[in-house]
Amino acid sequence: MSLAEVLKSGNYQLIDVREPMELEMDGNIEGAQNIPLGEVADRKEEILSIEKPVVLFCRSGNRSGKALEFLQAEGLKDGYNGGGWAELKAHLEANQGTF
């Protein structure tokens, strides 16, 4: 499945790997779980136990890409790099009418 197909399905968990300060300054996507990149390794079991596709995102897609690479090496089968939060949020709003 492609990222676009996963997002269209509505069946996914969003994980924002930005720092909490960034969410306060820049905004966020409603329903996204915040797990900063520096905590991903310590919280990998929590992430790996999610029973639907996981879409990671950050400010630009760089940190979410690193998190995805790590999680896939740890066994994540259904993970996607959602890229930058602003673009992802705009896509979700335009295509699902949510948020």
Predicted confidence (pLDDT) at residue 95 exceeds the cutoff of 90: no
pLDDT digits (tens, 9 = 90+) for 37-73: 999 999 999 999 999 999 999 999 999 999 999 999 9
Residues 1-9, mean pLDDT to the nearest whole number: 92
CA 60: distance to chain centroid? 12
Q: Residue 81 belongs to what H/E stretch?
A: strand 79-84
Say what the alpha-carbon torsion angle 49, 76, 20, 59 is, to the nearest 10 degrees: -150
Please, which residues have CB within 8 angstroms of residue 78's CB and are 6 or more apart in sequence? Answer: 1, 52, 53, 54
CATH, range 3-96: 3.40.250.10
pTM of the model: 0.93
Q: How far apart are CA 94 and CA 90, in angstroms?
A: 6
Q: How far apart are CA 2 and CA 75, in angstroms?
A: 19
Please, which residues have CB within 8 angstroms of residue 8's CB and are 6 or more apart in sequence? Answer: 95, 96
The pLDDT confidence band at residue 99, using thresholds 50, 70 and 90, is very low
